[in-house]
A and B are shown apart, each in its own frame.
Chain A
Amino acid sequence: MSKIAEAFNNKKAFIPFVTCGDPDLDTTKNILRELQKNGADLIELGIPFSDPTAEGPVIQGANIRALKNGITTDDIFAMVEEIRSEITVPMVFMTYANVIFSYGMDRFFEKCQKIGMDGVILPDVPFEEKSEFDKSAGTYGVDFISMVAPTSEDRIAMIAKEAKGFIYIVSSLGVTGTRTSITTNVKDLVDQIRKVTDVPCAVGFGISTPEQASNMAEISDGAIVGSAIVRIIEQNGKDAPAKVGEFVKNMKSAYKAS
């Protein structure tokens, strides 16, 4: 069983996302501490990319702020290495293909293994292109996380069959960002995935309120919240950690209530 599976062990997982280095890496560390303290079950760490084509304006902004600070992939590795002993929940990187490709596939995943990263999410690497990444990641015990979208249809079985860690269900068309309502029949996507695999499913894109999170977790195995957290960081800068913690606490209590 991969470490990621622990996040879903007999519970609905709450999965927050933060962009590393926004506004700076020390703040990122404090945010990670708050996330864990308030009940995050798995944490997604964004490595910034200059042109994040799957992101809406909020996370684009975080990427730009981090890069303006001169944050590099190596700085993020160092930050994770320093804090990994304190953060016991599973963690995965979320970034773009070129960040890993340019670093060197094996060099990147070997580093992930060394510092204790459990998986990687690459929104610009679909099933057809995953082998190059998956092979290297697998060598170093890092799970390549597969994504399923509302448009996946006949592709779902093929994707789910080879999925590792967890399956990232994209709740809506479009890019990341908060949405007032989610109109996709997510339950139907989960049912189709369930026919071929037991790998847990978590839903992301557009989730910002405790109600949305608990609804999505209810019909799947967990909810992923990114833009809503990044917005708190954008608005509060170095003072964000406590506010992010409070936000996560509210999210988790909605889980318990349901």
Chain B
Amino acid sequence: MTNTNGRFGVHGGQYIPETLMNAVIELEKAYNHYKNDPEFNRELTELLNEYAGRPSRLYYAEKMTKDLGGAKIYLKREDLNHTGSHKINNVLGQALLAKKMGKTRLIAETGAGQHGVATATAAALMGMECVVFMGEEDTKRQALNVYRMRLLGAEVIPVTSGTATLKDAVSEAMREWTSRIDDTHYCLGSVMGPHPFPTIVRDFQAVISKEIKDQILEKEGRLPDVVMACVGGGSNAIGTFYNFIEDKDVKLIGCEAAGRGIDTFETAATINTGKLGIFHGMKSYFCQDEYGQIAPVYSISAGLDYPGIGPEHANLHDTGRAQYVPVTDDEAVNAFEYLSKTEGIIPAIESAHAVAHAIKIAPTMSKDEIIVITISGRGDKDCAAIARYRGEDIHE
């Protein structure tokens, strides 16, 4: 019988070395205990509200709405959280959990650096040691975030193996965890990896859709027609979707990084170009060749530059509950500039992928329909890279 632990349809599971099995079992037990513990939840809520600045705003983007001339557009402002992205929601939860488990050291992978910064922040706050693995390529793309992590007291280890991007950072963090388990918690940043991570991270990010629901009901007296978010591993997207999954009339759209296009090899659009496989602890969709070798994916966005997608998303795709659309570098950069100029909000280049798709669909929808876009992070970190994309050579 196939393991039923942490399955979403056929996806998920625990494809990890035997060395780590007791660690994930211990984590699952601890999580199942603390998630129902009033004291744990009180502490976490206090951290989210007082430290991270929750609830984040649901902002009516009036100028964008008028400019596009269709559906009413709201932005869920995860960019306004402390550390500048949704990553802090999950990290505060996991760090608190790790601390309760008696762990004194956090390790993490990071792509754009947002999860690394969030983990370094939580470690500083809670007096824990922190080591962040980051692809060497990404340390160059996101030099400012490397400095931020070091400023926060974390050690940043550039990963040179493979393509030196997010997938290699995940591999290296897993290797590190195998070698040091007793005092170390692997603070995984997305809804991926072996069970129970996809469930834990989803639960900690579900606060996004819980708030959207309350806020939109208060503002509009009804649920939105579309909620959408960018998808790499898929943590802000699952957070955005989760409390709407049961509301069948709410359309869920995940925006994948198509890089230079899904008809090229320079893409990271997993649902649109990948196939079923087993990697990084889970069964899900992966960009890979015919022999199962993981593809060297590409996106302008370091945070979406990952060859897989979380197992719950893979299942939402299989069941048709959510739709996953590709968005190219060009479209994302245009949206990055568009939102900056139209609303005075500079989104992360990751989030700009979702904005780009909204720009496409909003005009086709009627004025009494509502779209909610999650702005997963702020774009300050991306300014230098976007300037270079536009041929302007500025350095941080």
Instruction: Tell me whether A183 is interfacial, beta carbon within 8 Å.
Output: no
Instruction: Give bound CA distance, A129 to B279, whole Å.
Output: 13
**A218 to chain B: closest CB distance in Å?**
23
Tell me if A51 and B279 are in contact (CB < 8 A).
yes
Tell me if A126 and B17 are in contact (CB < 8 A).
yes
Contact of B14 among A100, A128, A148, A153 (CB under 8 A): A128
Instruction: Give bound CA distance, A73 to B275, whole Å.
Output: 18
Instruction: Give bound CA distance, A154 to B29, whole Å.
Output: 15
- With A101-B278, A128-B3 known to touch, is A149 a contact of B288 (CB < 8 Å)? no
Instruction: Tell me whether A53 is interfacial, beta carbon within 8 Å.
Output: yes
Which of the candidate stretches A35-43, A82-90, A170-178, A219-227 sits at the interface with the other chain?
A170-178
Instruction: Give bound CA distance, A54 to B15, whole Å.
Output: 12
4 additional contacts, CB 8 Å, given A49-B292, A129-B14? A53-B17, A124-B15, A128-B14, A152-B21
Contact of A173 among B2, B171, B181 (CB under 8 A): B181
Instruction: Tell me whether B27 is interfacial, beta carbon within 8 Å.
Output: no
Tell me if B5 and A174 are in contact (CB < 8 A).
no
Contact of B18 among A53, A64, A126, A174 (CB under 8 A): A126
Tell me if B167 and A129 are in contact (CB < 8 A).
no
Tell me if A155 and B14 are in contact (CB < 8 A).
no
Instruction: Tell me whether B22 is interfacial, beta carbon within 8 Å.
Output: yes
Give the chain A neighbours of B290 by CB distance below 8 A.
Answer: 102
Instruction: Tell me whether B53 is interfacial, beta carbon within 8 Å.
Output: no
Q: Which of B246-278 contact A (CB under 8 A)?
A: 275-278
Instruction: Give bound CA distance, A67 to B291, whole Å.
Output: 11
Q: Which of A36-84 contact B (CB under 8 A)?
A: 49-51, 53-54, 56-57, 60, 64, 67, 72-74
Which of the candidate stretches B143-151, B172-180, B309-317 sits at the interface with the other chain?
B172-180
Q: Name which of B20, B179, B280, B292 has the most chain A CB atoms within 10 A of its CB.
A: B292
Instruction: Tell me whether B161 is interfacial, beta carbon within 8 Å.
Output: yes
Instruction: Tell me whether B127 is interfacial, beta carbon within 8 Å.
Output: no
**B247 to chain A: closest CB distance in Å?**
34
Instruction: Give bound CA distance, A150 to B179, whole Å.
Output: 11
Give the chain A neighbours of B171 by CB distance below 8 A.
Answer: 51, 53
Instruction: Give bound CA distance, A20 to B292, whole Å.
Output: 16
Give the chain B neighbours of A97 by CB distance below 8 A.
Answer: 15, 278-279
Tell me if B162 and A147 are in contact (CB < 8 A).
no
Instruction: Tell me whether A132 is interfacial, beta carbon within 8 Å.
Output: yes
Instruction: Tell me whether A98 is interfacial, beta carbon within 8 Å.
Output: yes
Give the chain B neighbours of A98 by CB distance below 8 A.
Answer: 277-279, 286, 288, 292, 294
Give the chain B neighbours of A129 by CB distance below 8 A.
Answer: 2-3, 13-15
Instruction: Give bound CA distance, A173 to B281, whole Å.
Output: 18
Instruction: Give bound CA distance, A123 to B279, whole Å.
Output: 12
Q: How many chain-B residues does the 8 Å CB contact rule pick out?
A: 40
Q: Scoring A residues 175 to 188 as 1 if CB is less than 8 Å from chain B, else 0, what string do you get?
A: 10000000000000
Give the chain A neighbours of B15 by CB distance below 8 A.
Answer: 97, 124-126, 129
Instruction: Give bound CA distance, A126 to B19, whole Å.
Output: 9
Give the chain B neighbours of A54 by CB distance below 8 A.
Answer: 17, 175, 178
Which 3 residue pairs of A and B lie closest in terms of their CB atoms, listed nearest first?
A102-B292, A174-B179, A149-B19
Give the chain A neighbours of B5 by CB distance below 8 A.
Answer: 128
Instruction: Give bound CA distance, A128 to B276, whole Å.
Output: 19
Q: Which residues of B contact A (CB under 8 A)?
A: 1-3, 5, 13-23, 161-162, 167-168, 171, 174-175, 178-181, 275-281, 286, 288, 290-294
22 contacts between A and B (CB under 8 A): A51-B167, A51-B171, A51-B280, A54-B175, A57-B161, A64-B162, A72-B291, A73-B291, A98-B286, A101-B292, A123-B17, A126-B16, A126-B17, A149-B18, A149-B19, A151-B21, A152-B21, A155-B18, A170-B17, A170-B19, A174-B19, A175-B178
Instruction: Give bound CA distance, A131 to B3, whole Å.
Output: 8
Instruction: Tell me whether A127 is interfacial, beta carbon within 8 Å.
Output: yes
Tell me if A152 and B179 are in contact (CB < 8 A).
no
Closest residue of B by beta carbon distance from A123: B17
Tell me if B181 and A151 are in contact (CB < 8 A).
yes
Instruction: Give bound CA distance, A60 to B164, whole Å.
Output: 14
Give the chain B neighbours of A67 by CB distance below 8 A.
Answer: 293
Tell me if B22 and A151 are in contact (CB < 8 A).
yes
Tell me if B19 and A173 are in contact (CB < 8 A).
yes
**B278 to chain A: closest CB distance in Å?**
4
Give the chain A neighbours of B168 by CB distance below 8 A.
Answer: 51
Closest residue of B by beta carbon distance from A132: B2
Give the chain B neighbours of A132 by CB distance below 8 A.
Answer: 2
Contact of A101 among B14, B22, B277 (CB under 8 A): B277
**A131 to chain B: closest CB distance in Å?**
6
Q: Which of A140-176 contact B (CB under 8 A)?
A: 147-155, 159, 170, 173-175
- With A51-B162, A51-B167, A54-B178 known to touch, is A152 a contact of B18 (CB < 8 Å)? yes
Give the chain A neighbours of B3 by CB distance below 8 A.
Answer: 128-129, 131
Give the chain A neighbours of B277 by CB distance below 8 A.
Answer: 98, 101-102
Instruction: Tell me whether A99 is interfacial, beta carbon within 8 Å.
Output: yes
**B177 to chain A: closest CB distance in Å?**
10
Closest residue of B by beta carbon distance from A55: B175
Instruction: Give bound CA distance, A72 to B280, whole Å.
Output: 21
Give the chain A neighbours of B162 by CB distance below 8 A.
Answer: 50-51, 64
Closest residue of B by beta carbon distance from A173: B179
